[in-house]
Amino acid sequence: MVGAGSMGGMMSLLLAELGTEVVVYDPSEENVQALMKKAKDTGLEHQLSSEKDHESLCKALPSPKIFFFSLPHGSVGDKTVESLKPFLKSGDFIFDASNEHYASTERRQKMCEPLGVNFIGSGVSGGYQSARHGPSMSPGGSKEAVEKMLPFLRKAAAKDAQGRPCVAWMGEGGAGHYVKMVHNGIEQGMMSALCETWGIMTQCLGMKYEEIAETFEEWDTKGELFKNFLVSIGSDICRTKDPKDNSYVLDKVKDKVVQDVDETEGTGTWTIEEGSRLHVAIPTITAAHMFRLSSADAAQRIHVHKSLEGQIKVGRIEVPDKKAFIEDLRKATYAAFLMSFVQGLDLLEHINQEKKWNLDFSSIISIWRGGCIIQSDHISDLLGKVFEHHKHIHGNLLTVHEVGHELLRCYPALKNVVLKAVEADAHIPSLSASWSYFRYSGDVNLPTQFMEAELDYFGNHMFDLKGAGPGKPVTGTHHFEWHPARGISEGHR
C-alpha cells in the first residue's frame, strides 16, 4: 500500500482483515504510526508491516508484486511510478485507488506498458468508513489484467442487498477513474440538493434538528429515497451531540466547503470541465459545484453581505399544511437526486461514444448499489431495469418513458418547493437548476431562437429555419442580413 492516509490506511486494515499480508509505505511517519496503532488495537498487527522507501518496499514483496496506490491526485502518482520503475518486473500490478484524472491514468498505463506492468485505474467510493469494511470499486484498464484481480477485489468490495460484490470491470484505459469522477459529480448534485432541503427545513420552516432527523429517517425507510446513503447519514448528523458540552456538533460546523478550492478534491471540477468539453448539460451538478465554490470564501461573503447592508435574508415559508409541504420537499429532493444521475449518465454516454469504451451501464449501476456515497436503492432499481430493458440508449435518459414520467410525477412538488423557496429568498441552486433543466430539456419552443437571431445579427453565425425538421447540433445553413456592415464614411451605427 503506497499511501497510508485515511483511505489508504483503512484499505490496508480491510485487506489485512481478509488475510492478506500488507506492506505499507508512506513518506509521513505519522501516518504509518497511526495505522500501526490501529492495526494493533484491532489485532491485525501481524498482517501489517512498513518500509522506509520504494526499494525496500519492492524487496519485501513476492512476485508478482501488487501495489495499491492511495495518493493525492496530480504529479505524486507520476513520481511514484517513476520511483518504482527500476524495481518492477513484467506481470506486476499497480492498482491506483486514488481519485485521479482519467488522462493521468492513461498516461501512466502507457508508462508501464513497455515494462509489462499492469496498471489499473480504479475508483474507490464510500469514504474511509467503506474503505475499512468494503468499498464500491470501478476498475478500468486491460480487461485481462482486471479479471486476474477480480477474485481478490470481490472479496474486498462492498456487497449489495443480494450479497453481490459492488465491483466490475468498467472498460479500457481510464474508464474506471472516469466512472468514479462522474460518481463524484452526481454526489455533489445530490449533496447540494439535500443541504438546500435541510436549509429550507431549518431556516424557512423552523424545524428542530430532532424533527429533521426523524423526517430523514422516515424518508430513508420507504419510498423513492429508500436506503439512500446521504439521507441516512443526514439523520445521524442532525442527532449527533458533542459529549463535552451536549451541544449539537452540526451547530459548530462553518458553512465552508473547501475541498474543491484547496484542490484536495479534483473530481467535481473535472466533471464540470468534461461537461463543457463534451457539450453535455449538467446544470444540477454545475450549480452544486458553484455553490461549493462560493461557500468556500467566507471572508468574501462577509464583505458582500456588508456591501448589500444585509438587506436580503432568508425568510419563513408559511404553508397551510406543513406535512404536505414536507412531502413536496421529499419529492423535490428525490427529483434533484434522479436528475443528478440522469446528467451524470448522459456525460458517461458521451465519453463512451468518444473513447469507444463500450461501457456496460448495467454494471455501473450495479456497483453503485452498495458501499458508495450515491447509494440509493430505489434509483438503482429504476435505472437498473431501464438499462436491462433498453440495451442501447444513445442519449439522455429523459427520453426513456420510465425515467421521464417518474420525474413528471414529481414535477408539481419540485415546482412548488422552488416557488416557495424563491419567495422566501432561500438558497436553492441545485433544486432550481433541476427544475429549469427538466423544463427546457423537453420544451420544443425555447426563447433561444431570439439568442440565435442575435448571434446571426452580429456574428453571421447562421441559423436553421423554424419550419424545417430538428436537424443536428451543427451550424445552420441560413443567414439574414439584419443590418449590413458599413464603414465610417457610410455612416455606420
Q: CB–CB of 466/445 below 8 Å? A: no
> In the annotation, is 21 catalytic?
no
Three-state SS for 100? coil
Query: What is the CB-side half-sphere exposure of residue 294 using CA atoms within 13 A?
Result: 14
Q: Cell numbers at residue 409, please?
A: 410525477
367: left (phi over 0), alpha (psi -120 to 50) or beta: alpha
State how far the Cα of 344 lies from the Cα of 77, in Å rounded to an integer. 26
> In the annotation, is 349 catalytic?
no
Three-state SS for 93? strand
Report the Cα 357 to chain-centroid distance in Å: 20
Three-state SS for 371? coil
CB atoms within 10 A of CB 484: 7
Looking at 100, 106, 180, 406, which residue is catalytic? Answer: 180
Residue 457's H or E segment, with its range, is helix 448-459
Instruction: Describe the crossing of helices 175-199 and 267-277 by its angle, rounded to 10 degrees.
Output: 110
The dihedral built from the CA positions of residue 69, 73, 76 and 81, taken in this order, carries a sign that is positive
Three-state SS for 62? coil
Distances (CA, A) of 489 to 155, 226, 458, 481, 486: 80, 72, 20, 20, 8
Cβ partners under 8 Å of residue 480, min gap 6: 456
Q: Cell numbers at residue 334, please?
A: 428525490
Looking at 100, 106, 172, 187, which residue is catalytic? Answer: 187
Total count of residues recorded for the chain: 493
What is the DSSP pairing of strand 118-125 with strand 136-140?
antiparallel
What is the DSSP pairing of strand 241-242 with strand 136-140?
unpaired
State how far the Cα of 454 lies from the Cα of 367, in Å rounded to an integer. 46
Q: What is the DSSP letter of 251?
A: G
State how far the Cα of 397 lies from the Cα of 370, in Å rounded to an integer. 22
Instruction: Describe the crossing of helices 298-307 and 283-296 by its angle, rounded to 10 degrees.
Output: 90
Q: What is the DSSP letter of 158?
A: -
In sequence order, which ranges of 163-277 are alpha helices (DSSP H)?
175-199, 209-221, 229-239, 267-277
Q: CB–CB of 432/415 below 8 Å? A: no
Q: Cell numbers at residue 416, please?
A: 412548488
User: DSSP letters along 242-288, please?
Assistant: ETTTTEEGGGG--S---TTTTTS--HHHHHHHHHHHTT---HHHHHH
**Positions marked active-site:** 180, 187
